[in-house]
Amino acid sequence: MPNLSLAQEPLPPPPPAKDYFPRLWKDFISTEGGFKVRYPGDPKESVEPRSKSTVLHSFWYGSDKFIYYTVNYRDLPNPPANQTEAREFLKGERDLRMTGVEGKMKLLSEEEITRDGYPAIILEIQLFGDRRLRELDVIRGARHYHIMVITFSNHKAMASDNAYGEIAKSFLDSFHLIEVAPR
């Protein structure tokens, strides 16, 4: 009869996800897109026509089951003519995002900023009660950048009461505009 008192040791837990360690993330540069950002891993890329004159370029990493990171950009057919119009465009994007989702999304905070000298806005949105969406929108000339992180809502089981917020901030803060590659 086998000795049951010598049960196998439990397997060690898997290592923590790279998402938890922003200092270990990799630089990603899109010279065509005119930006750089840091991801926990290699992002996937897609290009999707949205209309006759608009194409959405997306770079994403993660999953809807954990943390999802994305940078999208598109060239606007009717770009804002100045900084005031750019700020109005960003507010319109915020309003459009919140339209028709009552009870599913709640705007928690917003801040008008500049990113690398261009008009920008940072939003934090409660999503479906247990998720947070944090985003940065930037207008540079005719180009609209939409940078977003979706995480769980913060909880105290992690090293910080705001660990997911710190991870999201690291991603948003790593986004910077660079010179666009000539076509």
User: CATH code at 81?
Assistant: 3.40.1000
In a domain, 178, yes or no: no
Going by C-beta distance under 8 Å and a sequence separation of 6 or more, which residues neighbour residue 99? Answer: none
In a domain, 7, yes or no: no
pLDDT, tens digit (0-9, with 9 covering 90-100), for 31-74: 999 999 999 999 999 999 988 889 999 999 997 778 999 999 99
* 105 exposure class (CB count in 10 Å sphere: 0-12, 13-18, 19+): middle
Cα 28 to Cα 171: distance, rounded to the nearest angstrom = 11
One-letter-per-residue 3-state SS of 43-71: CEEEEEECCCCCEEEEEEEECCCCCEEEE
User: What single letter denotes the amino acid at residue 80?
Assistant: P
In a domain, 26, yes or no: yes
In a domain, 48, yes or no: yes
In a domain, 120, yes or no: yes
In a domain, 165, yes or no: no
The tally of domains found in the chain comes to: 1
Place of tokens 């926990």: 40
CA angle (142, 147, 151) in 5-degree steps:
165
3-state helix, strand, coil in the chain (%, to 5): 20, 40, 40
pLDDT, tens digit (0-9, with 9 covering 90-100), for 144-179: 999 999 987 765 555 666 788 888 999 999 999 999
Q: Which domain holds residue 103?
A: 18-158
pTM (two decimals): 0.85
| Greater pLDDT, 139 or 159 | 139
Going by C-beta distance under 8 Å and a sequence separation of 6 or more, which residues neighbour residue 13? Answer: none
In a domain, 100, yes or no: yes
In a domain, 22, yes or no: yes
Cα 93 to Cα 137: distance, rounded to the nearest angstrom = 9
Beta bridge partners of 58: 46, 72
User: What single letter denotes the amino acid at residue 136?
Assistant: L
Place of tokens 């005119």: 34
User: Looking at residue 14, what is its pLDDT?
Assistant: 56
